């Protein structure tokens, strides 16, 4: 079972960048199963996501960060929206293609911080989301509805790529540190 691990310190000034294989796998999928917990216990939901290059400043900390980010749209009034809207909200996720044979199974696991985007951060992320899902821009009704809905950022601090096509149990990991 091969495993590669990269780490990066929390301020983005050193360590290993996120491996290209993990970035490619994130870009290859469009749906993630988002897991979270609230007062009623654990829950999961599926959301469409777009990936972006994550460099910038972590919300509220002023600390520089790097690594991939995931953008998704959901109303803050949903169960998962309410659970993720609080300060320090964290989520876990998986992303994989449906209908794979076990010998060629590939997918991702991850966890990180979530936040609702506003202002310039939202505007920049919205362009990434529209580029990933051009059908949103092509439908005035859908575009208007989603523009009124919260746009979220999930900034992973740990990612694992599973790729049985390279050998059963092959894993490649990355963490921010």
Which has more confidence, 47 or 1? 47
Beta-bridge mates of residue 153: 71, 115
Least confident span in 3-7, 46-50, 92-96, 99-103:
3-7
Angle at 104 between CA 103 and CA 107, to 5 degrees: 120
pTM attached to this predicted model: 0.83
* Tens of pLDDT, residues 17-60: 899 999 999 999 999 999 999 999 999 999 999 998 754 444 44
Number of domains present in the structure of the chain = 1
Q: Domain range spanning residue 102?
A: 3-175
CATH number at residue 34: 2.30.110.10
d(C-alpha 71, C-alpha 80), whole Å = 15
Q: What is the mean pLDDT of the chain?
A: 84
Tokens of 109: 């696991």
Around Cβ 15, how many Cβ atoms within 10 Å?
17
Secondary structure class of 48 (helix, strand, coil): strand
In the block, tokens 């996501």 appear at 49
Residue 36 sits at the vertex; the CA angle it makes with 89 and 155, to the nearest 5 degrees, is 50
pLDDT tens profile 57-97:
444 444 445 789 999 999 999 999 999 998 889 999 999 87
Mean pLDDT of 147-166: 93
* Better-predicted residue by pLDDT, 106 or 121: 121
Q: Identify the pLDDT of residue 176.
A: 87
14 DSSP 8-state letter: S
**What is the mean pLDDT of the segment spanning 6-21?**
58
Strand ranges, E, within the chain: 3-7, 31-38, 41-57, 64-73, 90-96, 106-116, 151-163, 171-175
């Amino acid at each position: 079972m091969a495993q590669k691990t990269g780490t990066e310190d929390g301020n983005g000034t050193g360590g290993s960048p996120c491996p290209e294989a993990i970035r490619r796998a994130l870009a290859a999928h469009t749906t993630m199963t988002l897991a979270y917990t609230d007062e009623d216990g654990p829950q999961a939901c599926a959301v469409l996501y777009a990936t972006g290059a994550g460099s910038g400043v972590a919300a509220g900390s002023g600390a520089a960060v790097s690594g991939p980010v995931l953008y998704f749209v959901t109303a803050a009034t949903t169960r998962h929206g309410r659970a993720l809207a609080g300060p320090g909200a964290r989520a876990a996720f998986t992303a994989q293609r449906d209908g794979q044979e076990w010998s060629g199974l590939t997918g991702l696991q991850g966890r990180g911080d979530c936040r609702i985007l506003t202002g310039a951060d939202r505007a920049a992320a919205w362009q990434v989301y529209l580029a990933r899902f051009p059908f949103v821009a092509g439908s005035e009704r859908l575009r208007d509805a989603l523009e009124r809905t919260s746009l979220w950022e999930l900034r992973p601090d740990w990612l694992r790529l599973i790729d049985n096509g390279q050998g059963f149990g092959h894993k490649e990991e990355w963490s921010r540190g």
